[in-house]
Chain A
Amino acid sequence: MIEVRDLDIRGRLDAHILGGVSVDLEPGQTLAAVGGSGSGKTTLGLALLGFIRPGMRMVGGEVRFQGQDMFGLSEAELRRLRRESIAYLPQNPASTLTPTMRVEDLVEERRLAKSEPTQELLELVNLPSDHSFRRRFPHQLSIGQQQRVAMARAIANQPSLLILDEPTSSIDPTTQRLMLSLVERLRDEQAAATLLISHDLASVARMADEVIVLRSGEVVERGAARHVLDSPDHAYSKALVAASPDIAVDEPAAVPDATEPAPVLEVRRLSVRFNLGRGRGRRTIRAAQDVAFNLASGETLALIGRSGSGKSTIARALVGLHPPDAGELRLDGSPIPARLRSRDQTQRAAIQLVPQNPEESFNPRRSVGDGILRSIRHTRGLGGSTATDRLAQLLDQVQLDPALARRRPHELSGGEQQRAAIARALAAEPKILVCDEITTALDTIVQRQIIDLLKRIQNETSISLLFITHDLALAHEFAHRVGVLDEGKLVEIASMAEFVRDPQAAESRELLDSAVSLSRTLAARQLEEDEYRAVAAS
């Protein structure tokens, strides 16, 4: 149904985005394209829609959909194909919803004569279908509901081709399962083909029949999903599989000896509220309620929870960016002020934040090295050659090439930006590093490198890490203890080993059940296929 032949797409300076990629996709088949960032996965997905992003151009090859050359079609013919046969869900599905349109209009405008009525489409994605819900605007829905509306909108045309770009990266486990069942339904009912673009190998293992492994725009390995994921041949595929966190395989880190008499940081009954809106429509959101935990020297505590569970708010409160309504913070046994402004130099330096989006946190007009130097000067009061020596030392510590430090933030890759941000935080010689979802935007291999870097720094300096993430499988590999947040409350805190063995809170079990495990997924699929074969044989 889809034939891609020698697709060659170049970016600026003639750089290869896709260098001669060929792919076939049959009706009813699910093909996964896996690879790190910059591997050309998204460009391939968009090419199947007959779209090439601005700044790129196609220099060779062809894309055929049901025999038609996608790039030879007129605007109107291409539009008809997209309208009638294709469903596309980009990385952040909620962003496809136009904020000025109502739910029903968003779904309705993608329906065709053959489609189910809007109401049924909404029910299909487990959304209410009553009049008042259909009249809502996207901002009146939760993020999960927005994602479901985006799904209903995407499949409203009963597509024969689905293109899903990193569908699991921003979606919670329940919505993931729903998406999976929708894909299966479309496959069974109308033999829809699916291109799944992902770096989450477990979800690939669950859904895909075939896998292609992309690296820098080239297919380095292709084959049956189970084979490629279980026993990859190419070195890069091996690295991808090895870097993928797996809660069922990796051993959790042992809790360090609690010989330290007092914890470095004590958080007592921390509560943070947000006021939304003004006047009568005013609402209060309790982002954190009575949160209490300690952090020992040289320890890593992972704070995990879904989006909106209060993780980032707690991070911001600890570094003094968001004053809490109640609670106390103690550093080395003595209380510190809530506001950053009221903290003294040592208190400020002691707790440092590595933000979620490092690129935004550097001045776009100056080099990242400058940014790190600034931190050295302000937090340690160093100047002149002492400061530049310290910069060199920090760059060495985070393994960032000094030549790269002379570049501006947007000229660095995501992993390099994150290394720079860690160096900037370390410049203050902190006791505690608060890492707020610092691996979320990175692909698996780079994620692994950053985690290894943090582990090494912790071994060398016995710094304490507060590692905030929604990825339990990743936290599992290197955090000593774990705290689970649910709607602003810390519902469980335990050592990682104990937590995995015997989770107490319902939210913990939910998180644990949905945690990524490539090996488990592969085993489950194997089992399914064996059963199917057994049934077929009898």
Chain B
Amino acid sequence: MPAGLSYAAMRMASAIATLLVVSMILFAAVELLPGDPAQQILGINATPERLDVLREQLNLNDPIPVRYASWLWGMLQGDLGESVRTQHPVDELIGRPARNTAILAVTAFAAIVVVALTLAALSGVRDGTRTSSLISAASLSAVSVPEFIIAGILISVVGLELGWLPAVSLVPRDGTPFSRPEILVLPVISLSIVGGAYGARLIRAAVADAARMPHVQAARLAGLNESRVLIRHLLPSAIPTTVQVLAFMVPFLVGGAVVVERIFAFPGLGSQLVDRVALRDAPVIEAIGLIQAAAVIIGFQVADAVGFFASPERRTAG
């Protein structure tokens, strides 16, 4: 399909361009953090000579564009650099946390999809019923509570008072979060209550809009089965908005993971990021930031692509 192919190529190019711009902003922002990395590493009692030597080793005397170029060049070759604090290669430092966060985020995303779609379908297809009003009231209250409050309540009630689930999500040294799945439950709930309720509200609106379209009413008056009306006539019109809403969950999860991981002491990228910002460990911060940005960009690209292929009008244009 030529329209599809040229579309894919265009999207790919724009994704790469976006990532490049993000990398520049990210690099500049980290460089602009106050304080001198050499001073941070050696402490306040370091002699000027030792500081100079270290600055030279870290290439801190080069102008920012030059350092950006060499950093980017390294990135392109898969070399994430090494920590300025511990001299460990960055990929070793962030490998396990990245995997842990990915597991947490994907689980939470799946939960959000299930919660949001179920609630949206229950309340959006037939407007004005009791279920529908109940769901919209409940989801509004859930949206208004930040995830760290929910996390705090879950820890104190479910974790400490009742003792049903671990209040702290420690991952075994040689295992993955899946080797102790119970540690995932509370973080995933904290993330998916807010995300699911938020998604449900937006998707509900999309489904309700689709339900009011004349072709949906016509399909009902044509005597088609309700399931056929839903699957063939109503829901396809709601797909593009729905995937856009779900794509917005990716930045939500990226940000939410930082907070929730911190609260549950979950060893993921978010925790790692907070630690490394405190240490001014630029290469690690930059690598994590880039991974997060890539995840968000990929999410939106996938949503755009699904929206494109779900709409015959756009797919067949040209």
Q: Which residues of A contact B (CB under 8 A)?
A: 46, 49, 51, 78-84, 86, 88, 90, 92, 95-101, 105, 109-110, 137, 139-140, 153-154, 277-282
B224-246 toward A: CB 8 Å interface, digit per residue (1/0)? 11101000110011000000000
Interface range for B: 20 to 34
Q: Which of the segments B46-54, B133-141, B211-219 contacts the partner chain? A: B211-219
10 further contact pairs, Cβ within 8 A, besides A83-B224, A109-B228:
A79-B223, A82-B221, A83-B222, A90-B218, A95-B215, A96-B214, A100-B312, A109-B224, A140-B316, A277-B318
Asked if A277 and B224 make an inter-chain contact with CB atoms under 8 angstroms apart, the answer reads no
Asked if A100 and B237 make an inter-chain contact with CB atoms under 8 angstroms apart, the answer reads yes
Asked if A88 and B318 make an inter-chain contact with CB atoms under 8 angstroms apart, the answer reads no
Asked if B317 and A281 make an inter-chain contact with CB atoms under 8 angstroms apart, the answer reads yes
Asked if A98 and B236 make an inter-chain contact with CB atoms under 8 angstroms apart, the answer reads yes
Chain B, 178-193, CB within 8 A of any chain A CB: none
Residue of A nearest to B310 (CB): A100
> Given A137-B312, A282-B318, does the pair A109, B232 have CB atoms closer than 8 Å?
yes
Asked if A81 and B223 make an inter-chain contact with CB atoms under 8 angstroms apart, the answer reads yes
Across the interface, B232 reaches (CB within 8 A) one of A81, A82, A98, A277, namely A98
**Is B3 part of the contact surface with A, judged by Cβ < 8 Å?**
yes
Greatest chain A CB density within 10 A among B215, B223, B233, B312 is at B223
Q: Which residues of B contact A (CB under 8 A)?
A: 3, 6, 214-216, 218-219, 221-226, 228, 232-233, 236-237, 310-313, 316-318
Asked if A80 and B223 make an inter-chain contact with CB atoms under 8 angstroms apart, the answer reads yes
> Given A98-B236, A277-B317, A281-B318, does the pair A90, B214 have CB atoms closer than 8 Å?
yes
- Shortest B227–chain A CB gap in Å is 11
Asked if B222 and A137 make an inter-chain contact with CB atoms under 8 angstroms apart, the answer reads no
Residue contacts A-B, CB under 8 angstroms, 20 given: A79-B223, A79-B225, A88-B222, A92-B214, A95-B215, A98-B237, A99-B312, A100-B310, A100-B311, A100-B312, A101-B232, A101-B236, A109-B232, A110-B222, A137-B316, A139-B313, A139-B316, A277-B317, A278-B318, A281-B318
Question: Complex: how many Å from CA A90 to CA B316?
Answer: 28
> Given A83-B223, A84-B223, A100-B236, does the pair A137, B313 have CB atoms closer than 8 Å?
yes
Across the interface, A280 reaches (CB within 8 A) one of B218, B232, B316, B318, namely B318
What are the residues of chain A within 8 A of B318 when measuring CB–CB?
A: 277-282
- Shortest A285–chain B CB gap in Å is 14
Across the interface, A97 reaches (CB within 8 A) one of B6, B215, B226, namely B215
> Given A97-B215, A100-B237, A101-B232, does the pair A82, B222 have CB atoms closer than 8 Å?
yes
What are the residues of chain A within 8 A of B214 when measuring CB–CB?
A: 90, 92, 95-96
Residue of B nearest to A90 (CB): B218
What are the residues of chain B within 8 A of A279 when measuring CB–CB?
A: 6, 318
Question: Complex: how many Å from CA A99 to CA B232?
Answer: 10
Question: Complex: how many Å from CA A51 to CA B218?
Answer: 11
Greatest chain A CB density within 10 A among B216, B218, B224, B233 is at B218
Asked if B215 and A96 make an inter-chain contact with CB atoms under 8 angstroms apart, the answer reads yes
What are the residues of chain B within 8 A of A84 when measuring CB–CB?
A: 223
Question: Complex: how many Å from CA A83 to CA B220?
Answer: 9
What are the residues of chain A within 8 A of B237 when measuring CB–CB?
A: 98-100
What are the residues of chain B within 8 A of A153 when measuring CB–CB?
A: 222
What are the residues of chain A within 8 A of B222 when measuring CB–CB?
A: 82-83, 88, 96, 110, 153-154
What are the residues of chain A within 8 A of B219 when measuring CB–CB?
A: 96, 98
What are the residues of chain A within 8 A of B216 when measuring CB–CB?
A: 98
Residue of A nearest to B312 (CB): A137
Residue of B nearest to A138 (CB): B312
Asked if B221 and A95 make an inter-chain contact with CB atoms under 8 angstroms apart, the answer reads no
Residue of A nearest to B2 (CB): A280
- Shortest A206–chain B CB gap in Å is 26
> Given A81-B223, A86-B223, A282-B318, does the pair A99, B313 have CB atoms closer than 8 Å?
yes
Question: Complex: how many Å from CA A100 to CA B226?
Answer: 17
Question: Complex: how many Å from CA A115 to CA B120?
Answer: 37
What are the residues of chain B within 8 A of A79 when measuring CB–CB?
A: 223-226
- Shortest B14–chain A CB gap in Å is 14
Question: Complex: how many Å from CA A49 to CA B222?
Answer: 9
Residue of A nearest to B233 (CB): A98
- Shortest B228–chain A CB gap in Å is 7
What are the residues of chain B within 8 A of A88 when measuring CB–CB?
A: 218, 221-222
Asked if B215 and A99 make an inter-chain contact with CB atoms under 8 angstroms apart, the answer reads yes
What are the residues of chain B within 8 A of A140 when measuring CB–CB?
A: 316
Residue of B nearest to A86 (CB): B223
Question: Complex: how many Å from CA A5 to CA B219?
Answer: 27
What are the residues of chain A within 8 A of B313 when measuring CB–CB?
A: 99, 137, 139
Asked if B218 and A95 make an inter-chain contact with CB atoms under 8 angstroms apart, the answer reads yes
Residue of B nearest to A283 (CB): B318
- Shortest A168–chain B CB gap in Å is 19
- Shortest B125–chain A CB gap in Å is 14
What are the residues of chain A within 8 A of B316 when measuring CB–CB?
A: 137, 139-140
Question: Complex: how many Å from CA A450 to CA B207?
Answer: 40
- Shortest B206–chain A CB gap in Å is 14
Residue of A nearest to B10 (CB): A279
Question: Complex: how many Å from CA A105 to CA B232?
Answer: 10
Asked if A82 and B223 make an inter-chain contact with CB atoms under 8 angstroms apart, the answer reads yes
- Shortest B309–chain A CB gap in Å is 11
What are the residues of chain B within 8 A of A99 when measuring CB–CB?
A: 215, 237, 311-313
- Shortest A95–chain B CB gap in Å is 4
Question: Complex: how many Å from CA A528 to CA B222?
Answer: 35
What are the residues of chain B within 8 A of A110 when measuring CB–CB?
A: 222, 224
Residue of A nearest to B313 (CB): A139
What are the residues of chain A within 8 A of B3 when measuring CB–CB?
A: 281
Residue of B nearest to A95 (CB): B214
Residue of A nearest to B219 (CB): A98
Question: Complex: how many Å from CA A520 to CA B159?
Answer: 86
Question: Complex: how many Å from CA A154 to CA B313?
Answer: 23
- Shortest B9–chain A CB gap in Å is 11
Question: Complex: how many Å from CA A79 to CA B222?
Answer: 8
What are the residues of chain B within 8 A of A101 when measuring CB–CB?
A: 232-233, 236
- Shortest A145–chain B CB gap in Å is 15
Question: Complex: how many Å from CA A335 to CA B162?
Answer: 84
Greatest chain A CB density within 10 A among B224, B228, B233 is at B233
What are the residues of chain B within 8 A of A78 when measuring CB–CB?
A: 223
Residue of B nearest to A46 (CB): B221
Question: Complex: how many Å from CA A98 to CA B220?
Answer: 12
Residue of A nearest to B311 (CB): A100
Question: Complex: how many Å from CA A100 to CA B310?
Answer: 8
What are the residues of chain B within 8 A of A96 when measuring CB–CB?
A: 214-215, 218-219, 222
Question: Complex: how many Å from CA A97 to CA B311?
Answer: 14
> Given A95-B214, A96-B214, A98-B232, does the pair A139, B224 have CB atoms closer than 8 Å?
no
What are the residues of chain B within 8 A of A278 when measuring CB–CB?
A: 318
Greatest chain A CB density within 10 A among B221, B228, B237 is at B221
- Shortest A480–chain B CB gap in Å is 39
Question: Complex: how many Å from CA A107 to CA B143?
Answer: 43
What are the residues of chain B within 8 A of A154 when measuring CB–CB?
A: 222
- Shortest B29–chain A CB gap in Å is 35
Question: Complex: how many Å from CA A398 to CA B214?
Answer: 35
Question: Complex: how many Å from CA A255 to CA B311?
Answer: 52
10 shortest interchain CB distances as A-B pairs? A281-B318, A82-B223, A83-B223, A96-B218, A100-B236, A137-B312, A95-B214, A98-B215, A139-B313, A98-B233
- Shortest A164–chain B CB gap in Å is 13
Question: Complex: how many Å from CA A524 to CA B312?
Answer: 46
Question: Complex: how many Å from CA A149 to CA B310?
Answer: 22
- Shortest A399–chain B CB gap in Å is 34
Residue of B nearest to A87 (CB): B222
